[in-house]
Structure 1
Amino acid sequence: NILRKRTLIELVSDLFKASSILVLLIIIARQTISGKLTLGQMAMFLLAFRQGMTYIKDLFSSIGGLYEDGLFIGDTFEFLDLRENLTALAPVTTPSDLKSEISIDKLSFTYPGNQHPTVDN
Structure 2
Amino acid sequence: MPARYRAMIGDDGRFHAPAFDVAGYAEAIDRCRSRYPQLRIMFEAELGEPHWHPTQVRSLLDGYPFDRIIGSLHSLVEGSAFLVVDRAFGIHDADHVVRLPERGAAHGRVDGCL
Alignment TM class, shorter chain as reference: under 0.3
Is the helix fraction higher in 1 or 2? 1
Is the strand fraction higher in 1 or 2? 2
Q: TM-score, normalised by structure 2?
A: 0.22
